[in-house]
Structure 1
């Protein structure tokens, strides 16, 4: 018996042990022939394994439809008196049922850090991620290369040309890559989302900005929330951008306001700056992980004149 024109319905009947003798013989002959499609057979077998006793998590819609309509047509032929309305009603029931299956929420993976905490994780595709303090990363289990970030993270993305890697943030920014190393910073407390590229190439965009900016190594692109624009600049030394991965508190030509915000996020303190000129003054510094907020502020006092103190509520005032 020549195994030609094997249908999905016949394979389904075979794997579900409901096939007649002739169908079984056709499937067996097909499995021993050069035309056997193992991937197709395995896919239907797995689908039956999921639907045989329980509701399928990811049903094969085409297989289910073919099996369903075959059964309907069979009943119509055997019972010509069956009203067409019943068939149409059955079709409606099928698609209503399938809609519930496909609306079933997918599992979301969420990783979060608290103040002063960093985490390192590896995605199923081998991509490595370092998550900075006070940050959160989430993705659907079925789509681990499409992530949502709140806070800051560094990525070493595994190259996959057929499946681009995307990081989105709550303010609507998006970074798309194939394989590269880059840092994304997007805290809700800051007025910008920033991407710094170390290796490879990425494209940064925003839902409210028409242009997409292609980045090369040492590029920094910021989405300014107030101005609603994307600004690109160059950073000659990117070491300070990812120093946080080692717990180091490092900054280069940053305003005191930005430094105070980073201290607040990483050390769980609240800083109020009452001197507007100081707030916009710029500093460069390097501090080991063991340095306290007091150590850092005292060191900055060596270059700028200001006073600070901590009140009983744990709020630091700088003036």
Structure 2
């Protein structure tokens, strides 16, 4: 399958106009494609936006991701995330690690296992790396840099509880008799068998759960409010207001871009962009001008230094930035209309 044929198929797939024969041809290509070809297909699929169409179904994306996972498995413990992150990230990540040890008013308590009778294992991923593991039930987890997953050496007969700090992509083995529950900060995400991404860094102002396949229920443990999610949906929990809401995830692959050393945003509110940039670079980036809160950005970052990222954001939001301290950056200026 040539790149042109692949793109044509992806466009048809997104609108439900592909034929069974075309899908079969794509599946044959998928089984023998190289890692570079899979990366190109993911980029094509994730960037695909056709006016007037429904969001593309996530099953194809999940299939490409699974194949890419298998190809990259031997390199999962490589010292760097495919050498895409800037050298500055190593320094920034060390700073954020120090802040996590010191603590502070912006930080959530690290989730801890409620059942202390079980023997828990702890998988910690240092700065500048990603890593993967298989849980006792066969479920697979990929952890982003600076993340920790605590899980029992053996699950109980009725529950599968794990505890996440940071960000992780889960592909859960289906077992209706034993729900799988991810505890992350103030949220619990419960599934039977599905694939989804959880974003829950202690320094972040929001938590997110994005579903690729299957269905999950996300619950705020304090208020007990909950939302149900289906494929191509996400839940966002604002820590400042304790608001939990469900919304479409027009492009679910955007939430998984971190697995390829990227940050991607599509029509995202500025506070979400700044939140994830703050986590990536180990600094707090905040706004002082109310008009900036109206800005929404579509942008991709891959390997830029922090100054380069700030220049791009300032240009897109008609603002300027300055620092009050090595770990605090302010945006102010004209902002966006609307």
Deviation per residue, 1:168-194 (Å, 9 max, x gap): 1221x2111111111112223334332
TM norm structure 2:
0.57
Match of 1:119 in 2: 131
Greater Rg over alpha carbons, structure? 1
Deviation per residue, 1:106-154 (Å, 9 max, x gap): 4221122344432222223221111123322112222283101122211
The residue matched to 1:301 in structure 2 has which SS?
Answer: helix
The residue matched to 2:178 in structure 1 has which SS?
Answer: coil
Change (3 A) 1:312 1:232: closer
Offset at residue 311 of structure 1 (A): 7.0
Offset at residue 250 of structure 1 (A): 1.0
Aligned partner (choices 232, 236, 249) of residue 246 of structure 2: 232
RCO higher in structure (CA 8 A, sep ≥6): 2
Q: Count matched residues.
A: 215
Q: Does residue 156 of the first structure (1) align with residue 168 of the second (2)? A: no
The residue matched to 1:158 in structure 2 has which SS?
Answer: coil
Q: What is the aligned-residue RMSD (CA, Å)?
A: 2.6
Unaligned runs of 5+ in 1: 1-102
Q: Does residue 181 of the first structure (1) align with residue 181 of the second (2)? A: no
Deviation per residue, 1:66-105 (Å, 9 max, x gap): xxxxxxxxxxxxxxxxxxxxxxxxxxxxxxxxxxxxx985
Report the more deviating stretch, 174-183 or 123-132: 123-132
Change (3 A) 1:104 1:156: closer
Verify the 8 A CA contact 1:116 1:267 in the aligned structure 2.
no
Offset at residue 159 of structure 1 (A): 1.5
Match of 2:271 in 1: 257
Once the two structures are superposed, the pairs formed by residues 67-146 of structure 1 within 5 Å of their partners are 105-143=117-155, 145-146=160-161
Change (3 A) 1:309 1:158: same
TM norm structure 1:
0.60
Measure the CA separation in 2 of the matches of 1:136 and 1:112. Answer: 4
Change (3 A) 1:263 1:192: closer
Offset at residue 271 of structure 1 (A): 2.7
The residue matched to 2:310 in structure 1 has which SS?
Answer: helix
Once the two structures are superposed, the pairs formed by residues 280-291 of structure 1 within 5 Å of their partners are 280-288=294-302, 290-291=303-304
Change (3 A) 1:214 1:298: same
Measure the CA separation in 2 of the matches of 1:266 and 1:113. Answer: 14
